[in-house]
Amino acid sequence: MIYYVCVERFAHTLASMLVHFRPDLRHRLRVIPYARLELLDRVHAGVVIWADVDRIAPAMRQRAAAIHERLAGRGIRLLNHPERSLRRFQLLDALAASGHNAFRVFRPGALPPDLRFPVFLRREAGALAVPPDLLPDRASLLNALDAAPMQGANDDDWIVAEYSAESEADGHFRKYGAYRIGDTVFAQHCFISPSWFVKHPPAGMNDSHRLEHREYVRQNPHADWVLQMFDLAGIAYGRIDYGRIAGRLQVFEINTNPMVLGNPQTRFDPNLRPYADRWAEAVIALDSTASAAPASDPAIDRLQRRILLRLYASAYRARWRRLVAGVRAWWGHRAR
């Protein structure tokens, strides 16, 4: 059995997988919220994945680390560490110091005199839904920081990042994404956009860009480098997002609870099944290399049934949103 430990309201990252693409995984995987960590003391075999390590508070991190040590003493395979796996700021700061990354990150209270502008603000945890403002000078940065507490975070939650993005010869930016699941590293996407902020594949990707994406996924050209970056971070489960700047690969982040697939398959999507299967087979391989696990604990199973109900709702809300967006795009194209 595989136990996936995450913040409960972010369990939706697995929704499309467990509900739509690979429901067989429901027999192999249990979601354990950090709020119910005590249930892990009932686990005596299998695999535990510590997700969301950047989202938990220090007290919860310490509690999870103590349970991690007890699980390790039982010979349970453990992916990530609640305390030792590097979180976003720790990782980017270490990569800048080691020369792997050309850009630097700082906390608002420790800005150096040689800060390179433009910069942008982001939170320690969570994802950026829209492009952040590029702040051209120190005055604009200080104004943005003055407004930051109004958004519900303290200085320890904010990161000031030096802008570092570079388009390639065709004027487009690339964002690469690759997974590590235990000993398996596989490429997931190469998103190409005219905007520096590349989050999703843009509408209207041309044939050349689609081919480039497929070849990246097929060849997995940076696998050795990707594994090295995960090892530096002390992370064995997650997705790395990275790009190329001045000919060098640069890490943007490693997400320990990434969205595997955002919505169940619709007629407006390419065939998503190969991506789902690649992730699922790597997860299944974790379980097959562990000692034979007994049936899951009844209390964990009851919790799983409740969580699955929420995941059903999450998956099909996402599917509905995707259908609505697809119909609007189709209608807009037809009206031209």
pLDDT higher than 60, residue 149: yes
Give the pLDDT confidence score for residue 203 in this predicted structure: 67
| 199 vs 222: which has the higher pLDDT | 222
- For helices 223-233 and 88-98, give the axis angle rounded to 10 degrees: 120
Give the pLDDT confidence score for residue 305 in this predicted structure: 96
Give the pLDDT confidence score for residue 204 in this predicted structure: 65
| 332 vs 122: which has the higher pLDDT | 122
Q: What is the pTM assigned to this prediction?
A: 0.93
DSSP class of 133: P
HSE at residue 111, side-chain half, CA atoms within 13 A, is 21
CA distance 227 to 235: 10
pLDDT tens-digit profile of 110-126?
999 999 999 999 999 87
Which is nearest to 32 in space by CA: 76, 75, 73? 76
- Domain locations in the chain as residue ranges: 2-85+271-330, 104-162, 173-255
Averaged pLDDT, 48-55? 98
The amino acid at 144: A
pLDDT band of 315, cuts 50, 70, 90: very high
pLDDT band of 20, cuts 50, 70, 90: very high
pLDDT tens-digit profile of 153-195?
566 789 999 999 999 999 999 999 999 999 999 999 999 999 9
**Angle, CA of 107, 111 and 115, to the nearest 5°:** 120
Give the pLDDT confidence score for residue 91 in this predicted structure: 98
HSE at residue 79, side-chain half, CA atoms within 13 A, is 26
Give the pLDDT confidence score for residue 225 in this predicted structure: 99
pLDDT higher than 60, residue 85: yes
Give the pLDDT confidence score for residue 157 in this predicted structure: 85
The amino acid at 232: L
pLDDT higher than 60, residue 152: no
Top-confidence range, 28-32, 265-269, 324-328: 28-32
Give the pLDDT confidence score for residue 335 in this predicted structure: 66
Give the pLDDT confidence score for residue 327 in this predicted structure: 87
* 80 class by beta-carbon count within 10 Å (0-12 exposed, 13-18 middle, 19+ buried): buried
CA distance 315 to 325: 15
Q: Got the DSSP string for 164-189? A: -----TTS-EEEEEEEEETTEEEEEE
Averaged pLDDT, 314-321? 91
Give the pLDDT confidence score for residue 4 in this predicted structure: 99
Kindly tell me the sign of the dihedral angle through the C-alpha atoms of 7, 182, 278, 251.
positive
Q: What percent of the chain has pLDDT over 90?
A: 80
Give the pLDDT confidence score for residue 230 in this predicted structure: 99
**What average pLDDT does the chain have?**
92
CA distance 48 to 25: 15
Domain 104-162 falls under CATH 3.30.1490? yes
pLDDT higher than 70, residue 295: no
